[in-house]
Each structure stands twice: as structure tokens, then as C-alpha cells.
């Protein structure tokens, strides 16, 4: 592994040292500089778009290179002929699968842009259901007055501590999610999801939960929650489908690796010709 404060200035040395067949550029604020450098070195590479900030036109016009994305939604940022493949994030079931008592509704990262107001409304309306809010920092919501059925936890290095209490994953995000990794992680344990339809969330959920329109009124969220939580037959069906998605779905390691290997082989052949 190589690390550098200014990686764009050391990439040439790194390429010489490791002689990679294909580079996969993960994006970020220096993506344009990396693209320019890799192009000048005639180094085969792919740009992997998995954040909500697409490349600017200048970077796109600087070289003809292929893009892979993590969802159909993210692919919509670009012209169809620039996107070679859709490859969702790899989710290793062994890192997330756990026994769960299915006692709580789990809300990860209780921040306003993640739909905190919706989660709080549901908690207020359903005092019979315990909610678990998994924080990203110890300070998050520390001074807030919360409903009596909401418990704060985390942050955890091992999120199975939270998934082990979850019966439903709540993700009412109000910003453009390019996938929805927490949904895929929860599915490893057969935990269904109730999410907004923001960005790539519906692709992550697939048939393992319900999606509510992003700007729907609170009453729609309450109704959707009841459809899952208060209907044992519906819940069991969604749980079974969630678990199947983790084993055979687009984030399953075998599926992701197969797609990535096929894609990189194609790039190698393209550059050679």
C-alpha cells in the first residue's frame, strides 16, 4: 500500500513500481488531476462514480475513458456511451450477518439530511415500538430531547451490535443517495427496509422493503411503517427476500467480483487495440 499527501504528484512513481494492468479511480476532489495524469501515462483506468458529485465537463472532455457506477441512478449523471457497467458496492455478509432479536427500528446517522424529522415523527406516533438511533459521533443528538422510546447508541466499529437489535431499517433520506449501503448491510441478516425513494435507495432495497416518495407527508410514512411492522406475513416475506438479496443480489461478493473482473479485462483489451 502506498500513501501520499499529494498523490497526484507521486502517481507516476506508483505506476512504475506496481505496473498495474488497470487502475480504478475512486473519485474525490482530485479526480480531474488523476484523470489527466493517468491519461498522459497511457495507463488503462476506470473511473468509479459512487458519490453524488459527477465529473465536470472539462474532465470528461479531457480524455475518452470509461466510467463505472454503483447504481442506475448514478449512471444518469452521464451519457449512456460513457458508462461501461453498473457495479454496486461489495458487501461481505460475514461482516454484517448476525442473530437479531428484531426488537427495534434502526435509524443510522440521525441527521437532518437523512430524514431525522421523519424518524422522530414515527417514534412519537408509535410509542409502542422501540427505536434505536445509531450515531456517527458521540455528540450527535446528545443534547436533544427525544421521545421516550428512542435510544441512542454508537458509534460502533462493529455495526452488528446495532443490527443485532433491529427488526426494521429506517432510511428516510432527503438527499441524493447513490446507493444505500446500510440497506445492503441490514439485508445480510434479513432485516427489511423502509426508505425514501431518493437516488439509488430503491435499487438497494429491491423487493426487500418499501420505499416512500421523498417528499411524502408524514401520514404516508406512518402507513408504510404499519404495513410492515403490524403485518407478520408481510414482514416475513420482506425478511426472506432481504436475505435472498444479500446472498444472490447485486451486492453479493461473487456477483460484484465477477462484474469487476469482466470489466477490467475489457479495458485491458481495449487499450491494447
pLDDT in tens, 172-210: 999 999 999 999 999 999 999 999 999 999 999 999 999
* Among the listed residues 130, 84, 127, 133, the one whose alpha carbon sits nearest the alpha carbon of residue 107: 133
- Indicate whether 247 pLDDT > 70: yes
DSSP β-bridge partners for residue 166: 104
Q: Global pTM? A: 0.91
If pLDDT is split at 50, 70 and 90, which confidence band does 148 have? Answer: very high
The pLDDT value given to residue 24: 92
- Indicate whether 132 pLDDT > 80: yes
Higher pLDDT, 119 or 52: 119
The pLDDT value given to residue 162: 97
The pLDDT value given to residue 207: 95
If pLDDT is split at 50, 70 and 90, which confidence band does 273 have? Answer: low
- Indicate whether 77 pLDDT > 80: yes
pLDDT in tens, 106-129: 999 999 999 999 999 999 999 999
What does pLDDT average to over the chain? 93
CB atoms within 10 A of CB 169: 27
pLDDT in tens, 27-44: 777 888 888 888 888 899
- Indicate whether 3 pLDDT > 90: no
The pLDDT value given to residue 86: 96
Q: What are phi and psi of 193, to 5 degrees?
A: -130, 145
- Indicate whether 160 pLDDT > 90: yes
If pLDDT is split at 50, 70 and 90, which confidence band does 58 have? Answer: confident
Distance CA 41, CA 65 (A): 13
If pLDDT is split at 50, 70 and 90, which confidence band does 215 have? Answer: very high
- Indicate whether 143 pLDDT > 80: no
If pLDDT is split at 50, 70 and 90, which confidence band does 218 have? Answer: very high
Amino acid at each position: 500500500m502506498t500513501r501520499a499527501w499529494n498523490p497526484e504528484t507521486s502517481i507516476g512513481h506508483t505506476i512504475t513500481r506496481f505496473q498495474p494492468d488497470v487502475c480504478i479511480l475512486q473519485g474525490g476532489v482530485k479526480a480531474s488531476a488523476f484523470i489527466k495524469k493517468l491519461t498522459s501515462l497511457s495507463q488503462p483506468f476506470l473511473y468509479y462514480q459512487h458519490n453524488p458529485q459527477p465529473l465536470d465537463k472539462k474532465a470528461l472532455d479531457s480524455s475518452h475513458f470509461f466510467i463505472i457506477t454503483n447504481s442506475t441512478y448514478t449512471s444518469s449523471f452521464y451519457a449512456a456511451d460513457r458508462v461501461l457497467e453498473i457495479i454496486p458496492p461489495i458487501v461481505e455478509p460475514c461482516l454484517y450477518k448476525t442473530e437479531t432479536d428484531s426488537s427495534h427500528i434502526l435509524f443510522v446517522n440521525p441527521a437532518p439530511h437523512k430524514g431525522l424529522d421523519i424518524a422522530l415523527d414515527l417514534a412519537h406516533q408509535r410509542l409502542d415500538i422501540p427505536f434505536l438511533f445509531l450515531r456517527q459521533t458521540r455528540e450527535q443528538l446528545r443534547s436533544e430531547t427525544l421521545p421516550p422510546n428512542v435510544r441512542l447508541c454508537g458509534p460502533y466499529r462493529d455495526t452488528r451490535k446495532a443490527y443485532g437489535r433491529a427488526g426494521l431499517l429506517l432510511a428516510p433520506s432527503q438527499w441524493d443517495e447513490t446507493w444505500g449501503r446500510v440497506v445492503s448491510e441490514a439485508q445480510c441478516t434479513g432485516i427489511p427496509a423502509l426508505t425514501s425513494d431518493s437516488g439509488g435507495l430503491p435499487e438497494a432495497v429491491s423487493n426487500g422493503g418499501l420505499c416512500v416518495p421523498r417528499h411524502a407527508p408524514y401520514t404516508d410514512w406512518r402507513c408504510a411503517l404499519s404495513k410492515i411492522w403490524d403485518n407478520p406475513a408481510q414482514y416475513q416475506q420482506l425478511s426472506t427476500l432481504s436475505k435472498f438479496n444479500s446472498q444472490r443480489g447485486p451486492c453479493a461478493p461473487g456477483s460484484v467480483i465477477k462484474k469487476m473482473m469482466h470489466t477490467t479485462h475489457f479495458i485491458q483489451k481495449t487499450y491494447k487495440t
